[in-house]
Amino acid sequence: MASATEPLSPEGGTVGPDGVRRRDFIYIATGAFTAVGAAAVAWPFINQMNPSADVLAMATTEVDIAPIQPGQAIKTIWQSKPVFVRNLTPAEQDAANKVDAATLRDPQTLAERTLEGSRNWLVTLGVCTHLGCVPLGAAEGENRGDYGGYFCPCHGSHYDTAGRIRRGPAPTNLEVPPYTFKSPTLIEIG
Amino acid sequence: MSFPWANQYEPKSDFTRWIDSRLPLPRFVYNAVGAGYPVPRNINYLYNFGVLAGVALMIQIVTGIVLAMHYSAHITTAFDSVEHIMRNVNSGWLIRYMHMNGASFFFIVVYVHIFRGLYYGSYKAPREVVWMLGVVILLLMMATAFMGYVLPWGQMSFWGAQVITSLFSAIPLVGESIRMWLVGGFAPDNATITRFFSLHYLLPFVILGVVVLKVWALHIPGSNNPTGVDVQGPQDTLPFHPYFTAKDFFTLCLYLLAFAAVVFFIPNTLGHPDNYIPADPLSTPAHIVPEWYLLPFYAILRAFTVDFLWIPAKLWGVIAMFASIILLFFLPWLDTSRVRSTAYRPMYRIWFWVLVLCCFVLGWVGAMPAEEPYVRIGQIAAAYYFAHFLLILPILSVVEKPLPLPNSIAEAVLAKKAKGSGIVGPGATGVSAGTAPAPAE
């Protein structure tokens, strides 16, 4: 773009008719190269903090649900997070179905949170969606909150019998993990 | 920097002269904390807490380095290694109790230091950067203290880590990815404890670096003082050494007495007994609380219980908690009153003490379960905290009529003395008349 007849800029180097010096290109190219190089080096140092391969390996958990009587629940563990498996009584299912889902903070019906043909089995993560505490209510004699489901003692979130958030600071319902029935008494989570 | 009347460094021997012309470290110390640094003569005992905070930091660094020689950062051994330090390591119990309570004492002196700065307007021009570096130190201290609390891997350690890292999951869209990046897994686990140990070792040295910057920035205008009036001449100052070094050593003795009393007689009073139970990822303690020094911020986090303006309650709480500290960066510009010291601000003085009360209430609510009436009290106190800085301070700056300021520090000191000895004030006002007061700034 520059020819020998063009004037010299004060710093040396020729200036084109548009005021652009050849040296400007070198500056920009050097800067861009350095920025890309710095980002390329930074990424491994940032990425090393992400979950490692062994943690990410999708572990599945099998749970024998035969001993769980209606009204009872158990705690199990999947991907190092607690999972609640609860056998809902007909009264608890009715209580959950009576609520108009549209009025809820995170609108979902019991049917959307359970599997066809096994509406009494409520499988949720035992992780409060507020700040990750384990809610009470799965074990015998624990406080089940004002809606008969689960109660998180950390910051007072109340979940109903479908594990839906009803009161307190939690933004969403207890998460339902992917799971399937391998037999009527055996589920596989994950 | 120094005032023109500051003593000049004179090497006293051939050796110091030799050193001074090659590495002027003795000169640097002399001008920083020696006779070459003039300090307002009227600063009171509240001005000793900065030095105490420096000592507290050094105690944490020394005890921490020693603890790291015996601690094992792994989920299967961390808890046992802390018990090993307590039972088997020679004097291990003493060093761990010093480290544990040293953190609390560090926060005590830093909080007094902060409120002293608020009372005497030490954040105002020309000391804004000193104040802002202080806020940076406070944030770093909180991060360091939090990660240190996780290391013993007790119940409070684990669930504290779970709750605090979950704060980041409130960020829309990328929150959950950030949370997993922070803990290195689906839940706090071995990857978490090792990285927290690494950072817990690093951050105190970062704090030390910021402290150096802060002291550097402080030495440009020099210390503020209880009158808030600028230094005008030699009659207003005394050399840092020997006057204030002696005074600092006196308060240091009192501080160490109190520290030793707690370490030896009530070492676990400020902690939570649940942290002597090994971490159990399947069972949350009935009542999770952070360490006492984080309680006011925890109360602000919990003050939001309903969604508002399409932003979920959880995100509001997180925003408010971080905002309560970030807000302090803007304090020098929120308070536009030209009078620094609250001693001459009759209206602000009342609101200052309301703020102090408000912080104590927040701390108390933060320690209580999340139920009524604590939730409502916490909401009122949190609302006041923000109103104080965002509404009351800017309005007061405009409407308040401050009391008349003394003409100089020397005049204020002598007037106070005259009052104390029964001679009534006005006669003292002429004292500084002989020296032409230099214009402020």
**By percentage, how much of chain A surpasses pLDDT 90?**
8
CA distance B380 to B299: 11
Nearest-CA distance from A162 to chain B in Å? 21
Looking at B288-408, list the stretches that DSSP marks H as alpha helix, in order from N- to C-terminal side.
295-302, 313-326, 331-334, 346-366, 374-387, 393-399
Amino acid at site A34: T
Task: Check residue B412 and give its pLDDT.
Answer: 87
CATH topology of domain A55-189: Rieske Iron-sulfur Protein (2.102.10)
Q: Where are the domains of chain A?
A: 1-50, 55-189
**In chain A, which residue's Cα lies nearest the Cα of B159?**
A133
Q: Which residues in chain B touch residue A46, judged by CB atoms under 8 angstroms apart?
A: 181
CA distance B44 to B46: 5
Question: Which residue pairs, CB below 8 angstroms and at least 24 apart, start in A54-62?
Answer: A55/A80, A55/B184, A55/B185, A55/B186, A55/B189, A55/B191, A58/A190, A59/A190, A60/A188, A60/A189, A60/A190, A61/A188, A61/A189, A61/A190, A62/A182, A62/A186, A62/A187, A62/A188, A62/A189
Q: Is the confidence at residue A83, as pLDDT, over 60?
A: yes
Continuous segment of H or E residues that includes residue B71: none
Range in A27-31, A137-141, B79-83 with the lowest mean pLDDT: A137-141
| Pick among A45, A55, A142 to test the B interface (most B CBs inside 10 A) | A55
Does the beta-carbon distance from A132 to B165 stay under 8 Å?
Answer: yes
Q: What is the pTM of this model?
A: 0.83
Q: Which residues in chain A touch residue B312, judged by CB atoms under 8 angstroms apart?
A: 171
Omega before B406 within 30 of 0, i.e. cis: no
Omega before B439 within 30 of 0, i.e. cis: no
Instruction: Tell me whether A170 touches chain B (CB under 8 Å).
Output: yes
Strands, sheet with A157-160, edge to edge from the N-terminal-most edge strand: A148-152, A157-160, A165-167
Q: Please answer whether residues A126 and A139 qualify as being in contact, where contact means their C-beta atoms are separated by less than 8 angstroms.
A: no
The SS3 assignment for B237 reads strand
The CATH number corresponding to B289-402 among 1.10.3470, 1.10.287, 3.10.450, 2.20.25 equals 1.10.287
Instruction: Tell me whether A190 touches chain B (CB under 8 Å).
Output: no
Amino acid at site B352: F
Residues of B with CB under 8 A from a CB of A: 159, 162-163, 165-167, 169-170, 180-182, 184-187, 189, 191, 195, 281-284, 286-288, 302, 304-305, 307, 312-315, 317, 369-371, 375
Q: Residue window 43-102, chain A: list those with CB within 8 Å of chain B.
A: 46, 49-52, 55, 75, 77, 79-82
Does the beta-carbon distance from B314 to A133 stay under 8 Å?
Answer: no
Q: Please answer whether residues A99 and A111 qualify as being in contact, where contact means their C-beta atoms are separated by less than 8 angstroms.
A: no
CA distance B352 to B121: 11
The SS3 assignment for B404 reads coil
Nearest CB to A153; choose among B191, B287, B314: B287
Does the beta-carbon distance from B162 to A50 stay under 8 Å?
Answer: no
Task: Check residue B321 and give its pLDDT.
Answer: 92
Q: Please answer whether residues A84 and A74 qualify as being in contact, where contact means their C-beta atoms are separated by less than 8 angstroms.
A: yes
Nearest-CA distance from B318 to chain A in Å? 10
* B13 torsion bin: left (phi>0), alpha (psi -120 to 50), beta (else): beta
Catalytic one among A60, A155, A180, A183? Answer: A155
Task: Check residue A165 and give its pLDDT.
Answer: 87
CA distance B35 to B238: 9
Tokens 């307002």 locate to B40
Q: Is the confidence at residue A35, as pLDDT, over 90?
A: yes
Catalytic residue set of B: 219, 223, 247-248, 291
The token duo for B354 is: 């309301």
Nearest-CA distance from B163 to chain A in Å? 5
Residues 6 or more apart whose CB falls under 8 angstroms from that of B314 comprise A129, A130, A131, A169, A170, A171, B170, B304
Tokens 């897994």 locate to B185
Task: Check residue A12 and give its pLDDT.
Answer: 59
Q: Which residues in chain A touch residue B181, judged by CB atoms under 8 angstroms apart?
A: 46, 49-50
First to last CA, chain A: 62
Q: Which neighbouring-strand residues pair with A152?
A: A157
Does the beta-carbon distance from B369 to A156 stay under 8 Å?
Answer: yes
Q: What is the DSSP letter of B268?
A: T
- Judged on CB neighbours under 10 Å (0-12, 13-18, 19+), B256 is middle
Q: Where are the domains of chain B?
A: 40-230+240-273, 289-402
Task: Check residue B293 and give its pLDDT.
Answer: 93
Task: Check residue B69 and give its pLDDT.
Answer: 96
**In chain B, which residue's Cα lies nearest the Cα of A81?**
B187
Task: Check residue B309 and give its pLDDT.
Answer: 73
Task: Check residue A69 and give its pLDDT.
Answer: 84
Q: Which neighbouring-strand residues pair with A181?
A: A187
Q: DSSP characters for chain A?
A: ---TTSPBPTTSSBB-TTS-BHHHHHHHHHHHHHHHHHHHHHHHHHHTTSPPHHHHS---EEEE-TT--TT-EEEEEETTEEEEEEE--HHHHHHHHHS-GGGSSS---HHHHSBTTBTTEEEEESS-TTT-PPPB-SSTT---TTTEEEEETTTTEEEETTS-EEESS--SPPPPPPEEEEETTEEEE-
**In chain A, which residue's Cα lies nearest the Cα of B306?**
A169
Task: Check residue B421 and give its pLDDT.
Answer: 64
Nearest-CA distance from B315 to chain A in Å? 9
**In chain B, which residue's Cα lies nearest the Cα of A74?**
B282
Nearest CB to B185; choose among A51, A130, A168: A51
**CATH assignment, B40-230+240-273:** 1.20.810.10
Higher pLDDT, A188 or B350: B350
Does the beta-carbon distance from B281 to A82 stay under 8 Å?
Answer: yes
Task: Check residue A5 and give its pLDDT.
Answer: 53
Residues 6 or more apart whose CB falls under 8 angstroms from that of A133 comprise A127, A152, A153, A154, A155, B159, B162, B163, B284, B288
Nearest-CA distance from A64 to chain B in Å? 18
CA distance B208 to B61: 10
Q: Is the confidence at residue A6, as pLDDT, over 60?
A: no
Task: Check residue B102 and give its pLDDT.
Answer: 96
Does the beta-carbon distance from B369 to A153 stay under 8 Å?
Answer: yes
Question: Which residue pairs, CB below 8 angstroms and at least 24 apart, start in B252-258?
Answer: B252/B51, B252/B52, B252/B55, B255/B52, B255/B55, B255/B105, B255/B109, B258/B105
CA distance A166 to A159: 6
Tokens 């004492």 locate to B105
Count of other CB atoms within 10 angstroms of residue B287: 13
Does the beta-carbon distance from A82 to B286 stay under 8 Å?
Answer: no
Instruction: Tell me whether A2 touches chain B (CB under 8 Å).
Output: no
Cα–chain-centroid distance for residue B277? Answer: 30
CA distance B38 to B137: 25
Task: Check residue B251 and give its pLDDT.
Answer: 95
CA distance B98 to B94: 6
Task: Check residue B75 and give its pLDDT.
Answer: 92
Does the beta-carbon distance from B369 to A171 stay under 8 Å?
Answer: no
Does the beta-carbon distance from A153 to B302 stay under 8 Å?
Answer: no
Nearest CB to B162; choose among A49, A50, A132: A132
Task: Check residue B170 and give its pLDDT.
Answer: 81
Tokens 């994950």 locate to A190
Q: Is the dihedral of CA B285, B289, B290, B291 positive or negative?
A: negative
Q: Is the dihedral of CA B371, B372, B374, B380 positive or negative?
A: positive
Q: Could you state, in chain order, the average pLDDT of each consecutive group of 10 residues for chain B (441 residues)? A: 82 92 92 91 94 96 95 94 94 95 96 96 94 97 95 92 86 88 88 95 97 94 92 91 93 96 94 90 81 92 77 84 94 93 94 96 88 87 94 93 90 83 46 40 39
Residues 6 or more apart whose CB falls under 8 angstroms from that of B53 comprise B106, B109, B110, B113
